[in-house]
Structure 1
Amino acid sequence: MRVNIMVGGPDSLIPLSVVHARQNEKWVGVDIGATRLLNEGITPAVAVGDFDSTNAQQFNRVKGAIDDIHLFPPVKDYTDTQLGVKNAIELYKPDQITIFGATGGRLDQYLSNLFLPLEKEFKGYLEKIQLIDKQNIVDYYLPGEYEIKAEAGFKYLAFVNLTPVTGLTLVDEKYPLTNWNSSTPFCWSSNEFNGEVNHFSFQSGVVAVIKSRDLIIK
């Protein structure tokens, strides 16, 4: 089972076509993300957060539409996104968690969301968490050998070691790499798929793989 989480990143980066394609799946609305889902005709199963980004009128609407609301004080030990993931795991024990609205906007919040799967509490779900926006798809990997498939329209491919890493090998991507090690985080950006299916491997650490595309501003 997949649980989708909508948080409060910029509206302009939300891929609404993907959101609507999943409207019948399980949804968690985080703070203003709950209102965003209601605006799209989706009623989340759960709403979570301190709701400091939600005005009184919006929160009244959330309370009228959603039965299960987990309200927290603004001063707390978790960010709202962390609370959304925590509740998704505790309530549903899903096979996959996809987070929308976790990118863009404030850089501190973006980085907090990017590094969230590394936290001890969520690391057991690291490979089940995915971030999606209009421009990027982020997946997380533990050591091993992997096959990855191209996504239509997403030209670029990046390999980001979020921790020290050993043995990173890009087998058949456009720009291969062999047995690369690093003691500090690093991003091998602007690589590309070479065909529809490519492979990579590494021996230790945590690697994020980002499929991305240029965003055309009209």
Structure 2
Amino acid sequence: MKEVSTVNLMVGGPQQLIPWQEVDRKANQPWVAVDYGAVRLVERGIIPQYALGDFDSSTDKQRQAVKEAVGNIQQFPPEKDYTDTQLGLLTVQRHYQYDQVCLYGATGGRLDHLLANLFLPLAPAFRQSLPKLVMRDCGNTVRFFLPGSYCLTREAGMKYLAFVNLTAVEGLTLVDEKYPLDNWNCSYPVSWTSNEFNGEENHFLFKSGIVAVIQCRDVFSTLSRKNT
């Protein structure tokens, strides 16, 4: 098992939402690519250490290019028990010992894919990755938290801060955000959207449950201008 600081996982979500400048800066880091994500990386000159999936969204020419570039490829039938993204994270867990796994291309497409990716770390098979998983696109950073007390650092360019309890939660407290919350309990998921930082660091805590924290900004008007 390879010991690394960060592993990057590229999947097949909408290309226009992938922060390509950030991806290019990480070209020399370890990459695992899933399905059409492998095509994207290879075409960009970034060679993943592992590529896997059913490759049903790739052309014969694209699949051949991936096969010629990547040393470790595993192809699955479209009918399988795991999603391609789940297979990618299983591959990361199997081959690396890591502090962080960054997931790109997981948002902005089909809603069923988005929900599957958002719920991904809740499953027992992926629970070990829950505090290490980061989902990134041009307008959002999603991290997942187990019970505890945390300090959040504001990312450059991010205006909003959201707290989403993915399970029942007890004691959710937003200590010093723009809109505070005190010792909140709930038995069903709720998204506390459009909160904001006060300063460059803010704090939150909770006693039980699983919480996703999203730093985000509006990107669709910018993307629309780029696509016209």
TM-score of the pair, normalised by structure 2 = 0.94
**How far 1:39 sits from its partner (Å)?**
1.9
Deviations 1:18-59 (A, max 9, x none): 101111100011000001011222011110111111111100
Uncovered stretches (5+) of structure 1, i.e. residues with no partner: none
Name the SS for the 1:42 alignment partner.
coil
**How far 1:159 sits from its partner (Å)?**
0.1
| Stretch of structure 1 that moved more, 32-41 or 190-199 | 32-41
1:126 counterpart letter in structure 2: L
Name the SS for the 1:121 alignment partner.
helix
User: 2:109 aligns to what?
Assistant: 105
1:96 counterpart letter in structure 2: Q
User: 1:11 aligns to what?
Assistant: 15
1:136 aligns with 2:136: no
Question: In the TM superposition, what are the counterparts of 1:20-39 in structure 2 within 5 Å?
Answer: 20-39=24-43
Percent of residue pairs bearing the same amino acid type:
56
Once residues 113 and 93 of structure 1 are traced to their aligned partners in structure 2, the CA distance between those partners, rounded to angstroms, is 21
> How many residues end up aligned between the 2 structures?
218
Uncovered stretches (5+) of structure 2, i.e. residues with no partner: none
1:78 counterpart letter in structure 2: Y
Question: In the TM superposition, what are the counterparts of 1:32-47 in structure 2 within 5 Å?
Answer: 32-47=36-51
Once residues 169 and 80 of structure 2 are traced to their aligned partners in structure 1, the CA distance between those partners, rounded to angstroms, is 33
2:17 counterpart letter in structure 1: L
User: 2:56 aligns to what?
Assistant: 52
1:124 aligns with 2:137: no
User: 2:169 aligns to what?
Assistant: 165
Once residues 111 and 59 of structure 2 are traced to their aligned partners in structure 1, the CA distance between those partners, rounded to angstroms, is 23
Name the SS for the 1:59 alignment partner.
helix
Equivalent of residue 189 in structure 1, options 189, 193, 196: 193
Once residues 161 and 150 of structure 1 are traced to their aligned partners in structure 2, the CA distance between those partners, rounded to angstroms, is 20
CA RMSD in angstroms comes to 0.7
